[in-house]
Structure 1
Amino acid sequence: MSDVVTRVRALCLALAGVTEHVSHGTPLFKRGKRAFVQVWPDGHHQNRFPHLWCAAPEGVQELLIEQDPRTYFRPPYVGHRGWVGVVLTDPDWQDVEERIDSAYERAG
């Protein structure tokens, strides 16, 4: 797997009670029964770049996309539930860790 998956995996599995599953051929991370992050190292549908989808508190998706549309986007399937897509082409790993931590808390 790619370095992106290795890094996201390490961040997610460092959190208590997280398990990794495969969904649609890519890693999906759950806290208990609730998914909170999915990573797409080769992209997905029209988004042909490495990225992740993560759960976000209400209103955060819109705020992040408005502030930085090059980094954040509304992902298919889960975007209507407030999840946010994060571009991982040249990621700010501190920001990615904050998004993962926030998603993990949301799944608690």
Structure 2
Amino acid sequence: MSPDPDTVLAKVRALALAMPDSDERLSHGSPGFFITKGKFFAYFWHNHHDDGETIVIVKTTGSDEQAMLIEMDPDCYYSPPYMGPSGWVAMRLDRDDVDWDRVGDRIAISWELVAPRRLLEAGGR
């Protein structure tokens, strides 16, 4: 039995909103996390287009890093629809063995990739 999506969203929300100057709003009907007055750095999807999956989508440095993550752990990572071609990667969160430290690290890395210099210079995370 997979974990409750509301509980999973609460964990993702806590990790994303712990990042400096971050906020949440719906994006195409799903929670998205962004830097205030800036870009999105994470998205939460549950059963998007009836696929039955619960995932967080985060930014990578590009297609090379995305491919490396997928090759390293295809049970966790995959190229998500719509966003995969732009180098974003999905992390499966609908399993009992989710490594929440890894999820938190990937959310933080994604935040760093879109954060403006002023936030990074202020100490970032």
Q: TM-score, normalised by structure 2?
A: 0.80
**Structure of larger gyration radius:** 2
Shift of 1:54: 0.7
Give the ranges of 4+ consecutive aligned residues of structure 1 lying more than 6 Å apart after TM superposition.
Answer: none
Which residue, 25, 32, 35 being the options, matches 2:40? 35
How many residues align? The count is: 107
- Specify the code of the residue in structure 2 equivalent to 1:75: P
Shift of 1:31: 1.4
Equivalences for residues 12-31 of structure 1 within 5 A = 12-31=16-35
Quote the RMSD (CA, aligned, Å). 1.4
Partner of 2:74: 69
Tell me, yes or no, if structure 1 residue 89 matches structure 2 residue 89. no
Q: Which runs of 5+ in 2 are unaligned?
A: 116-125
Q: Name the SS for the 1:2 alignment partner.
A: helix
Q: Name the SS for the 2:82 alignment partner.
A: coil
Shift of 1:53: 0.7
Identical columns (%): 36
Tell me, yes or no, if structure 1 residue 100 matches structure 2 residue 107. yes
Which is helix-richer, 1 or 2? 2
